Amino acid sequence: MSGDLREHAGAPTLEDVARVAGVSRATVSRVVNGVRNVDPGIQEAVRRAVVATGYAPNRAARALVTRRAGTIALVVSGVDGGCAGHDGPDAFAARVFADPFFGRVVAGVVGFLRPRATHPVLMFAETPAEREQVLGYLRQGSADGALIVSAHGEDPLPALVAAAGLPAVLFARPARPVPLSHVDLAHADGGRLAAEHLVARGCRRAATITGPLDVPAGQDRLSGFRDAMARRGQPYVPIVEGRFTQRSGEEAMARLLAEHPDVDGVFVGNDVMARGACQVLGEHGRRIPDDVAVVGFDDSAAATSGRLGLTTVRQPVEDMAAEMARLLQEHIETPERPVTSVVFAPELVVRESA
Amino acid sequence: MSGDLREHAGAPTLEDVARVAGVSRATVSRVVNGVRNVDPGIQEAVRRAVVATGYAPNRAARALVTRRAGTIALVVSGVDGGCAGHDGPDAFAARVFADPFFGRVVAGVVGFLRPRATHPVLMFAETPAEREQVLGYLRQGSADGALIVSAHGEDPLPALVAAAGLPAVLFARPARPVPLSHVDLAHADGGRLAAEHLVARGCRRAATITGPLDVPAGQDRLSGFRDAMARRGQPYVPIVEGRFTQRSGEEAMARLLAEHPDVDGVFVGNDVMARGACQVLGEHGRRIPDDVAVVGFDDSAAATSGRLGLTTVRQPVEDMAAEMARLLQEHIETPERPVTSVVFAPELVVRESA
DNA sequence: TTGAAAGCGCTAACAT
DNA sequence: ATGTTAGCGCTTTCAA
């Protein structure tokens, strides 16, 4: 091999590769970026020079001229003092990932981004200051756009991002309209699916443990369930509101059992709470599904992790997250692309619990 | 307000601010970066101009000249076909976050980084191709360094990163030595703590459900437990190996019960498995802790999410993750900084289960 | 204390 | 098909 591949300290640059290959920087750039109109022979020479020098394009330099960071932000946004208190410095992040839901979102996003050699920057925004930080980050051009997952319908971040004219896509429809694309699930249909299944297996005194009712998803699942039950002759459905945590599912079930000991079916707002409910039912000597049938929501890891497989309404979170990333990519590449919403259909997954 | 603040399309630049403030780019840069030796009056004028123009420094430009991306990578690394099969496109990510452990790592890292206006780029590396991608990403200068959390002791990524001369810090000691700093827990001490507690409450026939034994942490917890038990007159301890999942905890407990029906105490390798074990114990009519005492490991959300609080060995994951980030920062700022390892002490947290 | 000017490494016209 | 050149927006000597 030739001798003076590296005459200066830093990482090899386009210039270095060009010198070794005996061509101009522009040609190397073309080869590296896969632009055609380059002589195959030269292409080969350049490729060899790239390997010889150990060249890797400098991202900052590229971003500077292309005006693309080649990065997107994945923002998990909540509202200060949401459900649990504001414990440690970043208990929020830990709390967020306590639900398998967010792991699936990450999986879906990463699955879409990875083939494109892109990786998400993870951000949490719970306080106004943190929201400002997210905004600043985006405005610096550190990321080309944002994928926003709000823990609450009233989250102010989407509106701020939209107002700043930054590309963004939301997971779930915001409580009040925002000119941003979003993906969502037909939650009401999910509730209906659960109701039909419960009725079909003979439940006559079904109840429901809902998610937080200030989250549109929680509301929609409830109303879908309630409407379908009413249509099937059960206009009154006992309701207890939970917080999507296992603990809250336990408490809700205990209360339900105390107030309605004859309950024979429960539709629970998510799988994590459903697990808690099952636990309490077991402790109270109720057999599942014979005495009480339980239908969860999400089809998350919680649905299959226990002994008893949970019958549940599947939410294709990974697909939804991937679609969210795809939409964002489109908005970034085509700023004038109109805002849209993509709504996925839920699906009943029957296992042992109902 | 004055008129021609924006004469060209793009985002405002230093130049724009300088024009509005009536000073040079250099001065604006100084003010923005908090360099002293700037006349207070001018400082004020610049600050006003920044607000007036809505200026935000362009990160790519800054990174290009400072040779700092101002970003770090948080890499979760596994080995292809680890425990569960290679299901969906990115089941790995979902699987990873199914354990509350990683959420806590994220929380700790974010907690440290946020005040420094930095956010982690999340990457998963399970296959050789994915490891190459991580390496490429780092070599491009897209991130200044990496925080690596390996799911297996034999993970090849740390060695690759070290060989490339890239700043990185590991969570947990690698199976074979690598010239990289790491943080870790004194796992053996944790096992000892569990043993002492079990013996102290009168357990005479304790058993253990371990984590995967190809993970150093799993091994160390076991040997610490076993040694301490032996020293206290119980040289033989029944062992079943689990995979850190709730399901595997259930299976392990069922087996333990079948083979050693008289077991009166169990040390379980992590809280998630411990939950599974408790579940099975309950189903088999064993009261906890009276018939069988259960000690978990981690003190994760799983320890407090159920009805019965889990007695467990606390691993201060958030603190460890924050320390990892701090070490990385030092390595980035001081490349010649010698490699170190910071070992945290476990702590027994007594709740109801033992 | 402030300004002028030289790049950082890359892409994209434009010229050849 | 290839090379030349002009910046992208910023920091940072070096002069003044």
Is the pLDDT assigned to residue B256 strictly greater than 60? yes
Q: What is the pLDDT of residue A81?
A: 56
CB B209 within 8 A of CB B276: no
Q: What is the pLDDT of residue B81?
A: 55
Q: Which of residues 45-84 of A touch strand D (CB under 7 A)?
A: 61, 64-65, 67
B-chain CB neighbours of A71 within 8 Å are 121, 142
Q: What is the pLDDT of residue B5?
A: 42
What domains can be seen in chain A, in order of their start residue?
A: 14-57 (1.10.260.40), 71-184+317-343 (3.40.50.2300), 187-314 (3.40.50.2300)
- Separation of A76 CA and D9 C1' (Å): 30
- Separation of B15 CA and D9 C1' (Å): 9
Distance (Å, whole) CA A259 – CA A31: 72
- Separation of A51 CA and D10 C1' (Å): 31
**Cis preceding linkage at B289, omega within 30:** yes
Find and list the nucleotides of strand D having atoms within 7 Å of a protein beta carbon.
1-5, 7-13
**A55 in contact with B at a CB cutoff of 8 Å?**
no
Mean pLDDT of chain B: 92
Beta strands in A163-256 (DSSP E): 168-171, 181-185, 206-210, 239-241
Higher pLDDT, B283 or B339: B339
Q: Which residue is nearest to nucleotide C5 (CA to C1')?
A: B26
Work out the percent of chain B whose per-residue pLDDT is above 90.
Answer: 84
Helix (H) or strand (E) holding B104: helix B100-113
What is the value of pTM for the model shown? 0.93
| DSSP string over A3-18 | S-S--SSS---HHHHH
The residues in A 244-263 lying below 8 A from B, measured between CB atoms, are 245-247, 250
| B53 CB inside 7 Å of strand D | no
Q: What is the pLDDT of residue B341?
A: 97
Q: From the list A97, A110, A245, which residue is nearest B106 (CB)? A: A97
Distance (Å, whole) CA A38 – CA B242: 56
Distance (Å, whole) CA B158 – CA B179: 9
Using 50, 70 and 90 to split pLDDT, how confident is the model at B237? very high
Measure in Å the smallest separation between the Cα of B121 and chain A Cα atoms.
Answer: 4
Beta strands in chain B (DSSP E): 72-77, 120-125, 146-150, 168-171, 181-185, 206-210, 239-241, 265-268, 293-298, 311-314, 341-344, 347-349
Positions in chain A whose pLDDT score sits under 70: 1-9, 80-89
Is the pLDDT assigned to residue B4 strictly greater than 60? no
Interchain pair A121, B117: CB under 8 A: no
pLDDT, average across residues B193-207: 97
Q: What is the pLDDT of residue A80?
A: 67
Interchain pair B93, A111: CB under 8 A: yes
- Separation of B113 CA and C4 C1' (Å): 37
Is the pLDDT assigned to residue B181 strictly greater than 50? yes
Alpha helices in B5-90 (DSSP H): 14-21, 25-32, 40-53, 59-66
Question: C1' nearest to CA of A27: which nucleotide?
Answer: D2
Q: What is the pLDDT of residue B151?
A: 84
A-chain CB neighbours of B97 within 8 Å are 97, 100, 102-104, 106-107
CA diameter of chain B: 86
- Separation of A230 CA and C11 C1' (Å): 64
Query: Mind listing the pLDDT tens digit for each residue in B115-170?
Result: 998 999 999 999 999 999 999 999 999 999 999 999 888 899 999 999 999 999 99
Higher pLDDT, B1 or B176: B176
Using 50, 70 and 90 to split pLDDT, how confident is the model at B37? confident
The residues in B 89-108 lying below 8 A from A, measured between CB atoms, are 89-94, 96-98, 100, 102-104, 106-108
Query: Mind listing the pLDDT tens digit for each residue in A250-259?
Result: 999 999 999 9
Is the pLDDT assigned to residue B316 strictly greater than 70? yes
**A129 in contact with B at a CB cutoff of 8 Å?**
no
Interchain pair A97, B120: CB under 8 A: no
| B232 CB inside 7 Å of strand C | no
Query: Mind listing the pLDDT tens digit for each residue in A185-198?
Result: 999 999 999 999 99
3-state secondary structure of B208: strand
**B82 in contact with A at a CB cutoff of 8 Å?**
no
The answer to which of A293-297, B96-100, B298-302 has the lowest mean pLDDT is B96-100
3-state secondary structure of B118: coil
Distance (Å, whole) CA B343 – CA B181: 11
The answer to which of B204-208, B286-290, B301-305 has the lowest mean pLDDT is B301-305
| A26 CB inside 7 Å of strand D | yes
Using 50, 70 and 90 to split pLDDT, how confident is the model at B82? very low
CB B330 within 8 A of CB B338: no
Structure tokens at A252: 């809700």
In chain A, whose CA is at the least distance from the CA of B275? A306
Burial class (CB in 10 A: 0-12, 13-18, 19+), A120: buried
